Structure 1
Amino acid sequence: MSLTTDQIDAARARVPLAFRDPLPVRLRRYVLWSFFIGLFCWCLYDFNITPARIWEGLARFGTVASFMFPPHIWTEWEPFADVLNGLGETLAIAFLGTLLGAVFAFPLSFLGAKNINRLNFLRLSTRRGYDVIRAIETLILALIFIRAFGLGPLAGILAIAVSEIGTFAKLFSEAIENTSSKPVDGVKASGGSRLQQIRFGIGPQVNPVLLSILLYNFESNVRSGTILGIVGAGGIGFLLSDRIAAYKWDEAWSIIFLIIAMVYLIDWLSGLIRSRMIGAQSLTK
């Protein structure tokens, strides 16, 4: 049964509160919207974000972007070899940092998993440790390790590794907690020890997820390795920063294009590895 417009207007006149929120709800909504709008306007004012400044910045960006095409092509092998060496160094930094982080995070993840570690105090303390590690930005860790070990790839590797310990341990522990208990019960019923229950009951379920996490974070760390190079932790970022500081925008853009190509290639290869080792069916679930 559909109501006519006249019937709806008559009902609204009889019981107006039924057609709108109560006054406290409306006041709360108005206060929240006023707060967010005021906060937004204050941020614009405090950060000096004005139309004139944006317009001027866009004009300057247009000048910088004009060097994008045609891309710079190195005509000599030595400078191009330095770029290739920087790309390879960034790739190595990301690989070693990711690998070291995973090696240390894997045993820690079992301490933070509820279905493995039944001691609440130890489990919660371990999880808070994950949060403390993840709270420190990779760039800050790189600056600390540069101060301790000097400039070069070692600082970048350690920065990524330490940062990934917290990230991997948290993600691994959550993956372990989301496994089914039925395979574990089957191993236990057949007389398997606690270690065998974890290896044969939980391992086959969680290994594809761990591999997917590793590959994704490796892709992310390749991009992070570029930023770390800018502060002196090795890799292609140092060359990119040097070209930008020297206003050699044509070379800088070519380096950026090479970085994009490298990240795209790694993404394609990691997807291929996941489809081969995990299976295309599991990727679509």
Structure 2
Amino acid sequence: MTRAGPLRATLLAGSDGLEARHAALIAPGWRSRGGMMLALGGVVALYAAGLAILDISPARIAGGLGRLGDIAALMVPPTPETWSRFQIYLAALGQTLSIAFLGTLTAALLALPVGFLAARNVVANRIVHLLTRRGLDTVRSVDTLVWALIWINVVGLGPFAGALAIMCADFGAFGKLMSEAIETADRRPVEGVLSTGGGRLASIRFGVVPQVLPVFASQVLYFFESNTRSATIIGIVGAGGIGLHLSELIRVLEWQQAAFVILMVLVTVAAIDAVSQRLRAAIIGRRAG
């Protein structure tokens, strides 16, 4: 307690010099504040311009919410109407899951070797690395719905086009994520394999793959759950699955059946999400252990 007084006095005495030396940091001037206000004003002006260009007004929003409420009332109660229709919707939902599963798994298998080519710590050749990365960026830049429209014109309507669309869209994403996971792998196991006389391929097989394989598996599970929703959307354009039935029901204003189909999709996605979360947690936990 006896030292508190002198120590406090010393700190207070030095505070004036501290403020003088770092005045710009302690009390920002009008320039920094003006720049911040200018940036904020620019964001607000850009937002307002976007609303004006897209013709978004409070009146239209209010009218849309009222119409949305009317449609929600027409959806109650959700019903398939007949047992035969329920069987049709259930079969279409199974087709949607098949599209998502096959597209995701095929994309992961094809992207695995490409991910190694795109990783800097595996391929030292800059040209190969650059071409691989830019190729993945090109494939990834095209949306799943666009790929579905392309493949429908190539192979025709049906689930085959849907699976190909998901495969192409996920191929670029998987390649990028896998290459980044490979680049962050610990170097010490690779050096250990090389020090024992192992070759380059052996160092990748036993030094890199065991580290990144759990990450790959977790990514595949996540993409499968996400692609279940994507497969529903691409079905609307004719790529198979339950999306085609949903589109037809909305077009003919069968809102109760449309609500039942949406409910089926929601329950399925929730179930897949719950299972995949447990599997991802188990995979990551096993890796940590």
TM-score w.r.t. the length of structure 1 is: 0.89
Question: Which residue does the alignment assign to 2:55?
Answer: 48
Q: Residue 43 of structure 1: CA displacement?
A: 1.2
Gaps of 5+ in 2: 1-7, 10-18
Written as runs of structure 1 = structure 2, the 5 A alignment for 1:246-285 is 246-276=252-282, 278=283, 280=285
- Runs of 4+ that moved beyond 6 A: 16-19
Deviations 1:200-253 (A, max 9, x none): 111111110000000001111111000000111000100001110011111111
Deviations 1:40-66 (A, max 9, x none): 111111212111111111110001111
Deviations 1:95-137 (A, max 9, x none): 1111111111111001111110111222122111111111111
Question: Which residue does the alignment assign to 2:116?
Answer: 110
Residue 230 of structure 2 corresponds to residue 194 of structure 1: no
**Matched AA of 1:56:** G
* Equivalent position to 2:190, from 181, 184, 191: 184
Q: Contact conserved, 1:187 with 1:196, CA < 8 A, in 2? A: yes
Gaps of 5+ in 1: 3-11
Aligned mates of 1:228, 1:234 — CA distance in 2: 8
Question: Which residue does the alignment assign to 1:28?
Answer: 35
Aligned mates of 1:171, 1:86 — CA distance in 2: 31
| Residues 177 and 63 (structure 1), Cα distance of their counterparts in 2 relative to 1, 3 Å cut | same
Aligned mates of 2:202, 2:25 — CA distance in 1: 62
Question: Which residue does the alignment assign to 1:96?
Answer: 102
**Matched AA of 1:132:** T
Question: Which residue does the alignment assign to 1:5?
Answer: none
* Equivalent position to 1:241, from 235, 238, 247: 247
Aligned mates of 1:141, 1:152 — CA distance in 2: 14
Any idea what SS the aligned residue of 1:66 has?
helix
| Residues 63 and 204 (structure 1), Cα distance of their counterparts in 2 relative to 1, 3 Å cut | same
Identity of aligned residues (%): 43
**Matched AA of 2:198:** G
Aligned mates of 1:17, 1:280 — CA distance in 2: 48
Deviations 1:133-155 (A, max 9, x none): 11111111111111111111111
TM-score w.r.t. the length of structure 2 is: 0.88
Q: Contact conserved, 2:215 with 2:284, CA < 8 A, in 1? A: no
Question: Which residue does the alignment assign to 2:4?
Answer: none
Q: Contact conserved, 1:100 with 1:161, CA < 8 A, in 2? A: yes
Residue 170 of structure 2 corresponds to residue 164 of structure 1: yes
Moved more, 121-130 or 172-181: 121-130
Residue 130 of structure 2 corresponds to residue 124 of structure 1: yes
Aligned mates of 2:230, 2:164 — CA distance in 1: 13
Aligned mates of 2:273, 2:38 — CA distance in 1: 46
Q: Contact conserved, 2:80 with 2:256, CA < 8 A, in 1? A: no
* Equivalent position to 2:140, from 121, 127, 134: 134
Q: Residue 18 of structure 1: CA displacement?
A: 7.6
**Matched AA of 2:32:** V
Q: Give me the CA root mean square deviation.
A: 2.3
Q: Contact conserved, 1:67 with 1:253, CA < 8 A, in 2? A: no
Q: Residue 279 of structure 1: CA displacement?
A: 5.1
Aligned residues: 272
* Equivalent position to 1:59, from 63, 66, 74: 66
**Matched AA of 1:204:** P
Q: Residue 254 of structure 1: CA displacement?
A: 0.8
Any idea what SS the aligned residue of 1:48 has?
coil
Written as runs of structure 1 = structure 2, the 5 A alignment for 1:206-225 is 206-225=212-231
Aligned mates of 1:69, 1:208 — CA distance in 2: 44
Moved more, 19-28 or 95-104: 19-28
Question: Which residue does the alignment assign to 1:229?
Answer: 235
Aligned mates of 2:269, 2:169 — CA distance in 1: 20
Q: Contact conserved, 2:96 with 2:228, CA < 8 A, in 1? A: yes
